[in-house]
A and B are shown apart, each in its own frame.
Chain A
Amino acid sequence: MSTTLAVLEQRDGALRKISYEVVTAAQRLGGTVEAVVCGTGAVQGTDQVGRFGADRVVTLTNPSFARYDPEGCAQALAERITHGGYEVVVFAASATGKDLAPRVAAKLGVSVAADLTDLSADSNGLVVTRPVYAGKALLKARVAARPAVLSVRPSIFTPVERPKAGAAEIVAVTAPVVPSRVVVREIKAAPAGTLDVAEAQVIISGGRGLKEPANFKVLEELARAFGGRAAVGASRAVVDAGWRAHADQVGQTGKTVSPSLYIAVGISGAIQHLAGMRTSKVIVAINKDKDAPIFKIADYGVVGDLFEIVPKLTEEIRKLHG
C-alpha cells in the first residue's frame, strides 16, 4: 500500500491550522499517511494530527528551525523523501509552502502540481485539479512523477476527523545542520488581533465604493460583529490608492482566498478580483449598481447604498452572536 507524506507547518512552536487541511488532503488518497514538520523540538498540536487520519507524525528537529529555514527544511525534507519511499508528498500552497515545495521538488527533479483544489487516486494513478487563467478554467492533470509533489490551496480541504484505530505514532528525528545562506531574521507581525484574509472564515472586502479610507471602519465593525472569525479584505483599486495594505488585497495580484463567507462591498467584480475569491463557499455582494458583474457570481445580492446596508447588517449579526 502506498504512503503519502503530508508536510505540516508550525509557527512559534505550534502547528498552524493549515496542517490539518494538508493531512485531510493526503488521506483522500488512501493508504498510509505520514505527517512531517520541521521544528526545534516538540511541536504543539502534533498529538492532534492523528485525528485527521495520520498514522505517524515525525518532527524533524534542528536548532535552526525556530523560524522558517528555507534551505535547511528543503534539504531535510528532500533527504527524508528520497529514503522514505513515498508515492506522494503534499504541501500547503501557503506563503511557506509556495516557497518550500518547489525547492524540494527541484531536488527530486520534478515539478510541483501546485495550488490544487481537488485530488484523487484511481487505478491509473494520480489525478489533480487546479484553477488556471485567473479561475476562468480548471485544469485536470495526471501526475506521473514518483514521488508526486503536490500543494493544496488553503481553505479548500476542510479538515475532517478520521481517526484510525490506535493513536498515531509520534517520532522525533534530528535533521542535519545545513549552513543556510537564506535566513529569516525577523517576522514583523501584523497588529495583534488582526486576522489575515488568507486564514479568515469570513471576509468582508471593500472597494472603491467605500469612497474614502476612513469609511472602512464600517466594514471593520461588521467584521468585529463576527467575533474574531472575520477579516477585512480589499480590492486592488483601494490598495493602489493607498487606502489599505497590500496584505489585504484579494485577487490575481493579491491573495487567493476561499472562506466560507465572502462579502463584497462596493466592489464591481472585475475578473482579476474574482480570480482571488471565486472558490469562496458563499458569496454576498452589496452594490448600488444592479448590473455590477459581482452579482453574476454572488449567491446573494443586495442592491443599494452600502452606507445604509452594512450598518444594518452589522446590527443583525450582532444580534445573532450577542
Chain B
Amino acid sequence: MKIACCIKRVPDSETRVKIAADGKSLDEAGVKFVMNPYDEFAVEEALRRKEKAGTGEVVVICLGPAAGQETIRTALAMGADRGVLLQTEKTPADSFETARLIAAELKSGTWDLILFGRMAIDDYNHQVGVIVAELLGLPCVSAVSHLDIEGLKGIAEREIEGGIEVVEFPLPAVLTVDKGLNEPRYPALKGIMAAKKKPLEVKAVRPGAGTIEIAALTPPPERKEGKIVGEGAGAVAELVRLLREEAKVL
C-alpha cells in the first residue's frame, strides 16, 4: 500500500488566542504548535494499513513554514517513511490554494490511498481533502469514522445527523478521517531516534492570494455576564422562573 497523508501544523487547542498587531492574524509568540489532531488519525490509519498489507510506504506532506519540519518529524516518529515539506512563508489561509499546491505535489506520485483530517482545528474549514480529490479526479469519502478495505473496494462509515451512512468506493481514493477511526499511537523513543534519519524533502512553493480576503480577527463577543442562581435543589424553582421569564426559552 502506498499511502499519502496530509498533515497540518496548527496551534495546540489549549492555546490562548492573542490577536496580532495587524488585527487579522494570530500572534504566534509563545504559541505551541502541534499536528492537527484529526491528521493523527490519518497517520495512524496509514500505518495500520501498511502494516496489514506487509509492504508499502507512508509519505506525509505538510504545507507551511520551515517549522512544519517538526510536524513531519512527529509523523515520522510515529512510523511514517518519509516526509515532504511544501515550504511557504506562512501556512496559507485559502483552502483552494492549499489544495492546489498539495494536489500538484501528489500528482508526482501514485497512491492507493490519500488521507486527510476531517478538518483543521484552527480554521475549521473542512474542505482541503475534498477539494484535492476533485482536483485529482479521485473518488472521495469525507469524515470517515470506520473503514474496511478488501482489495480495490472500500466501505466507509460516516456520521450524519441521526445516523450513519455506509459508503462504498473504489481505490485509489481520497479519504478525510474523523475521530473514532482508531487510537493514534504515541511516538516511542526508538521512533523518535529513527525519525531523525528518515528522508525529509523541502520544496519551496508559492501560494496565490485566493478568493477569501481576511478583513479582521476579533475576540468572540463576550457572553452577557452570567449569574449563579443558587446552590442545590433549592435553586431549581428560581432557575426555571428565569429560563421562562428572562431567557424565554421554556
Taking a contact as CB atoms closer than 8 A, the residue among B134, B141, B143 that contacts A106 in the complex is B134
- Cα–Cα, bound, A296→B222 (Å): 10
User: Considering only CB atoms, which chain A residue lies closest to B119 in the complex?
Assistant: A98
User: Considering only CB atoms, which chain A residue lies closest to B15 in the complex?
Assistant: A133
- Cα–Cα, bound, A141→B93 (Å): 11
Judge whether A253 and B37 touch: CB under 8 Å: yes
**Chain B stretch 211-250: residues in CB contact (< 8 A) with chain A:** 211-221, 223-224, 226-233, 235-237, 239-240, 242-244, 247, 249-250
Give the contact-size bracket for chain B: 35 or more
Residue B167 interfacial (CB < 8 Å): yes
Residue B110 interfacial (CB < 8 Å): no
Taking a contact as CB atoms closer than 8 A, the residue among A132, A247, A303, A317 that contacts B123 in the complex is A132
User: Considering only CB atoms, which chain A residue lies closest to B139 in the complex?
Assistant: A181
Taking a contact as CB atoms closer than 8 A, the residue among A148, A199, A298, A301 that contacts B162 in the complex is A199
- Closest Cβ of chain A to B158, distance in Å, is 7
- Closest Cβ of chain B to A269, distance in Å, is 12
Judge whether A308 and B220 touch: CB under 8 Å: no
Judge whether A317 and B233 touch: CB under 8 Å: no
Judge whether A301 and B228 touch: CB under 8 Å: yes
Judge whether A189 and B99 touch: CB under 8 Å: no
| Contact A183 B228, CB 8 Å, known A103-B134, A141-B213, A313-B240 | no
| Contact A110 B211, CB 8 Å, known A284-B239, A295-B226, A301-B229 | yes
Judge whether A98 and B126 touch: CB under 8 Å: yes
Residues from chain A with a CB closer than 8 A to the CB of B141 are: 70, 182
- Cα–Cα, bound, A95→B133 (Å): 18
- Cα–Cα, bound, A96→B179 (Å): 17
Judge whether B13 and A184 touch: CB under 8 Å: no
- Per-residue CB proximity of A236-270 to B under 8 Å, as 1/0? 00000000001101001110000011000000000
Judge whether B166 and A185 touch: CB under 8 Å: yes
Residue A58 interfacial (CB < 8 Å): no
**Chain A stretch 124-139: residues in CB contact (< 8 A) with chain B:** 127, 130-139
Residue A167 interfacial (CB < 8 Å): no
Interface residues of B (CB under 8 A from A): 11, 13-17, 19, 26, 37-38, 94-97, 99, 121-127, 130-131, 133-135, 139-143, 145, 155, 157-170, 179-180, 210-221, 223-224, 226-233, 235-237, 239-240, 242-244, 247, 249-250
Sort A-B residue pairs by CB-CB distance and give the 3 closest, nearest first: A106-B134, A102-B127, A145-B211
Further contacts, 11 of them, CB under 8 A, given A132-B124, A186-B165, A202-B249: A110-B211, A132-B217, A136-B220, A249-B179, A284-B243, A295-B226, A300-B226, A300-B243, A302-B231, A303-B230, A309-B235
